[in-house]
Structure 1
Amino acid sequence: MIADAPTARRRPWHWRTLDTAADGLAVDLGLYAVSTIFAAITAVTSTLSPHRAWGAVAAVGYLAATLVVITQLLLRRHHPSTPLTGLRARWTITGLTWASTALLPLLWQSIERASGRTDRAQEEVLVVEHAGTRLLEHGTPYLGRDAIAALPPGEQLLGYTPYQPGMAMFGLPRALADTWWTDSRVWFAVGTALALALAVAALRRPPAAAGQTDRGHRPDATLLRGVQAATVLPVCALTLATGGDDLPVLALCLLALALAATDRPGRAGLAVGLAGALKLFAWPVALVLIVWGLTRRAGTRVAAGAIGLPVAALLPAILVDHDALTENVLRFPLGHGLVTSPAQSPFPGYLIANALPAGRVVAAALLVAAGVVIAVRLARRPPRTAVATALICGYGLLAAIALMPSTRFGYLLYPMALLTWAPALHRPVHPPATPVPELTSRTASA
């Protein structure tokens, strides 16, 4: 049981050795340079118009960041103590890069879409906005099976809403006004930025030990690297600019882990519960956080929000039309809807499901087996730290994404961000203060 903490400390060692090269600038250079190539290739070769539009803008932003980091490395070589190469400067570059590679393409595509371009949003944007309209008009974001069957064949896929009811909230602005700022991606970005800002603020808050605040504790480069993984990493920037529904879910999960790391289990449960009210991907994270809470005698406080909020979001949809909820949230993702999901990937689960006889059964069995392995691990060695919790969530979701019969390459943003976020969750451990010898001797004599 106690082995969790040392294991969590050992795992990031090799990564930290690389990450500290040139005070972190070496990895920054690699991140932005590879991202530039990725965005340029996407702009030229992608078959999706929103992706090509993103790549054309993002490649310039990543290239600019690459050139700035090269300049920083040169400055550092000749002026090692200059603040232009320090952590504050790296935070500034990260923020500007996110603005140029995610927010700018998002706003550009939203404005073009409002002007009449129909190829400036992925299907999930339309699905969420339609769900918001149905929620406003009918009290549920879901269409029943008969209503979906009545749609033209080419529109039946868009009739499905394979999300939790809370996701429809991001589509409500579009139901009220048809303009660029009511695009659901704009509100995905707002929700993502707010959750990440709260997570950073939580981890920057100095921890208290023995009733006193540790004034020497400050956020370090691991927190910056975690933020980069959730913002400027191409899979995250591309997803936010063209679709976006996964980013607020991810950001809320990162916020929940940050709150767990700072010993606020009740708030951690609320954060992951909000994520679970948006999408099923947050539910495994909620389960692992509840197990973490049990090790601290706070399982009930975590579960109250982690389970209570998704259930509260589901209740209205169940009361209005429980059949429509089942059709959208269960039958369609499991491949039993009127149409099948177009999700494809080069991962083993998808390849097995499509290449072998009874492939979907084989892939499902492998997925269940992976779940059993993780459940046994949680039972035998429950995570006692937020770091261990993040690692289990990251590797568990990576295994699930690899084995799911229907999945997307973009879902990798979850495990990549969670695993990169884990080192930022380390909190300093303060040994009890050593009594002053003179004071001890006086007390003994008294």
Structure 2
Amino acid sequence: MQQFGAGLRGAGAAGGYSRAPWVLGALVCAGWAFAFPLISNLASQRAWGWSAGAGYLLAALCAALLPRGRAASSAGSGAARPIRMAVALALLGAVVVPLVLLLVLGQAQSEVFVVQQSAVRLVHTGSPYLPHPADWTGYTPYLPGMTLFGFPHLVLPAVLGDARIWFLLAFLVCLVLAWRILRGGPLAVPFAAVVASPLVALPAAVSGVDLPMIGGCILALALAGRGNAARAGVVLGLVCALKWTAWPAVPVALLLLLQVGGRRAALRGTLWTGLVGGLLVVPFAVAFPQAMLEQVVRFPLGLSTVRTPAGSPLPGHILAQLGPAGRTASLALFALSGLAVCVWLLVRPPRDARTACDRLALGVALAFLLAPAGRFGYLQLPVLLVLWPRLALRTQRPTGPPVLVASSTDDADAVDSVHARAPEYADHPTGRPDDTDRDHDTHDHDRAAAPAANAARVAPTAPTPSTAGAAARS
């Protein structure tokens, strides 16, 4: 994953792609994938491992041996043909083939069936939760909003109604929208590479239940960074109605809105978050408080009478296995880490989407590491929070026409000209308009006129006869 990240970071908007990081990254991912048939006891994960491992190996061979073609000048990415082909092979082997195969076979991790059954239960009983589940398979450790992804199962054919398709679709839409809001450059190669990486490919094929929450957190912080309080609040409300692990995103986004848009923006974001999230969660919390407390809070934390089978050898889980004292220590460290992150947020509030994503990533990473029942899969949230905004900002499109400055007078004239052409930039807190779909005809006109203007500025003045003679005499 680090090598894939290095390859992506090395790809600028105008630069090319180096083969070595992509080859090494594909080989690392292949080794990771081939480990699953050896260590996993889940049939869906073993099937993914064989398919994804083969896809990553083919991607490594393609990136290393395929002759370099012409750069994709129309996309402006400079991506070489071997890299594009390698990413396509990785995407095919790690996502498309295993997902289609598992959908046809009806194999998935248990959480997919839990979400689908919660929708069936909601339709027939009015509650997504069983009042007295006999074992862990009857628990629904999600907030009521997650049930929405189970409704296609009720009305569509078996394959099309599978919740994994809708988990993945929601995630992809959120990533694309966040990329546009962050004004990222060419999207195809970074987007496909991130989706093809084990970070996304494995959960997309076998489960995907965390993907909508991750994409929603990234989108909400991107919107908050642009000062769009209403849309950020709506997205936050939807995300917080899926899983309570998304709730740390709320204070981070509201602090960002406070820095970017002031108190009114923060209050507006709070209002929309509470309204949307409350409409989806509060009615069920009032009607079924005991079931929600037991299944949504106590069960994921390992505090219920029925223990969750989820668990990885992370520090919090190891401590919790030592007995009551270890469980208490794990919960104490969990709470202290959250308090420390809150203090840091108040002392150093985020001022843009990237720093907000970094703050949230650190907070949730500490929480997942120290929780009594944490899993390695939970760490995909902090990793994607750090990765996606950086990719978008590294390939960011220019926000204005290029200007070649010849003198201080020309510099002042150029600045005045830019402000005259785009007066709406001056009053916006981030220096950019909120509407991400603004027509670019003005910029296209400026780019067309820029070469002539630049040539006029730098063209040398022809010497007159008198000045030429004076120069010769001196």
AA matched with 2:412? P
AA matched with 2:122? L
- Give how far 1:51 is off: 0.4
Q: Which residue of 2 aligns with 1:180?
A: 159
- Give how far 1:175 is off: 3.2
Instruction: Give the total of aligned pairs.
Output: 394
- Give how far 1:157 is off: 0.7
Unaligned stretches of 5+ in structure 1? 1-13, 114-119, 205-217, 441-446
Aligned with 2:105 (options 86, 90, 112): 112
Pair 378,369 (structure 1): closer, same or farther in 2 beyond 3 Å: same
**2:223/2:229 contact within 8 Å kept:** yes
Residue 135 in structure 1 maps to residue 102 in structure 2: no
AA matched with 2:355? A
AA matched with 2:176? A
Q: Which residue of 2 aligns with 1:294?
A: 258
Q: Which residue of 2 aligns with 1:35?
A: 29
1:261-308 deviation per Cα after TM superposition (whole angstroms, max 9, x unaligned): 444333222223222111122111222111111112121232233333
Q: Taking structure 2 as the reference length, what is the TM-score of the superposition?
A: 0.74
In 1, the alpha carbon distance for the partners of 2:185 and 2:10 equals 15
Q: Which residue of 2 aligns with 1:87?
A: 79
Unaligned stretches of 5+ in structure 2? 404-409, 418-474
Q: Which residue of 1 aligns with 2:94?
A: 101
In 1, the alpha carbon distance for the partners of 2:143 and 2:157 equals 24
Highest RCO, 1 vs 2 (Cα 8 Å, sep ≥ 6): 1
1:368-394 deviation per Cα after TM superposition (whole angstroms, max 9, x unaligned): 111111111111111111111011111
**2:182/2:389 contact within 8 Å kept:** no
Pair 18,379 (structure 1): closer, same or farther in 2 beyond 3 Å: closer
In 2, the alpha carbon distance for the partners of 1:55 and 1:331 equals 32
Instruction: Please give the secondary structure, in 2, of the residue aligned with 1:66.
Output: helix
Instruction: Please give the secondary structure, in 1, of the residue aligned with 2:349.
Output: coil
In 1, the alpha carbon distance for the partners of 2:170 and 2:228 equals 21
Pair 22,259 (structure 1): closer, same or farther in 2 beyond 3 Å: same
Aligned with 1:194 (options 173, 190, 193): 173
- Range with greater deviation from structure 2 (387-396 or 317-326): 317-326
1:100-150 deviation per Cα after TM superposition (whole angstroms, max 9, x unaligned): 31233122111111xxxxxx2111111111111111112221122xx31xx
AA matched with 2:112? V
Q: Which residue of 1 aligns with 2:445?
A: none
**1:165/1:317 contact within 8 Å kept:** yes
Q: Which residue of 1 aligns with 2:55?
A: 61
Aligned with 2:308 (options 327, 337, 341): 341
> Equivalences for 1:356-371 in 2 at 5 Å?
358-371=325-338
Q: Which residue of 1 aligns with 2:42?
A: 48
Pair 80,246 (structure 1): closer, same or farther in 2 beyond 3 Å: closer
1:328-364 deviation per Cα after TM superposition (whole angstroms, max 9, x unaligned): 2123233343311112112111111113661011011
**1:19/1:26 contact within 8 Å kept:** no
Residue 390 in structure 1 maps to residue 357 in structure 2: yes
Q: Which residue of 2 aligns with 1:324?
A: 291
- Give how far 1:39 is off: 1.3
In 2, the alpha carbon distance for the partners of 1:173 and 1:371 equals 36
**1:273/1:309 contact within 8 Å kept:** yes
> Equivalences for 1:207-356 in 2 at 5 Å?
219=185, 225=190, 228-229=193-194, 231-296=195-260, 297=262, 298-355=265-322
Aligned with 1:417 (options 375, 381, 384): 384
- Is the radius of gyration larger for structure 1 or structure 2? 2
Work out the percentage of aligned pairs sharing the same amino acid: 32
1:37-68 deviation per Cα after TM superposition (whole angstroms, max 9, x unaligned): 21122134422111001112112222222222
- Give how far 1:99 is off: 4.2
In 2, the alpha carbon distance for the partners of 1:99 and 1:305 equals 39
In 1, the alpha carbon distance for the partners of 2:363 and 2:233 equals 19
Q: Which residue of 1 aligns with 2:148?
A: 169
AA matched with 2:371? M
In 1, the alpha carbon distance for the partners of 2:58 and 2:232 equals 37
Pair 323,63 (structure 1): closer, same or farther in 2 beyond 3 Å: same
**1:128/1:167 contact within 8 Å kept:** yes
1:211-255 deviation per Cα after TM superposition (whole angstroms, max 9, x unaligned): xxxxxxx6168x9547644x2221321111111101111111222
Pair 174,398 (structure 1): closer, same or farther in 2 beyond 3 Å: same
Q: Taking structure 1 as the reference length, what is the TM-score of the superposition?
A: 0.79
Pair 270,82 (structure 1): closer, same or farther in 2 beyond 3 Å: closer
**2:91/2:192 contact within 8 Å kept:** no
Pair 187,95 (structure 1): closer, same or farther in 2 beyond 3 Å: farther
Pair 138,403 (structure 1): closer, same or farther in 2 beyond 3 Å: same
AA matched with 1:75? R
**2:221/2:232 contact within 8 Å kept:** yes
In 1, the alpha carbon distance for the partners of 2:80 and 2:8 equals 21
Instruction: Please give the secondary structure, in 2, of the residue aligned with 1:87.
Output: coil
AA matched with 2:174? A
Cα-Cα RMSD: 3.2
Instruction: Please give the secondary structure, in 1, of the residue aligned with 2:46.
Output: helix
1:168-196 deviation per Cα after TM superposition (whole angstroms, max 9, x unaligned): 11112223456222121122122222222
Instruction: Please give the secondary structure, in 1, of the residue aligned with 2:160.
Output: helix
Please identify which structure carries the higher helix content: 1
**2:7/2:18 contact within 8 Å kept:** no
In 1, the alpha carbon distance for the partners of 2:41 and 2:110 equals 14
Residue 372 in structure 1 maps to residue 339 in structure 2: yes
Instruction: Please give the secondary structure, in 2, of the residue aligned with 1:75.
Output: coil
AA matched with 1:86? G
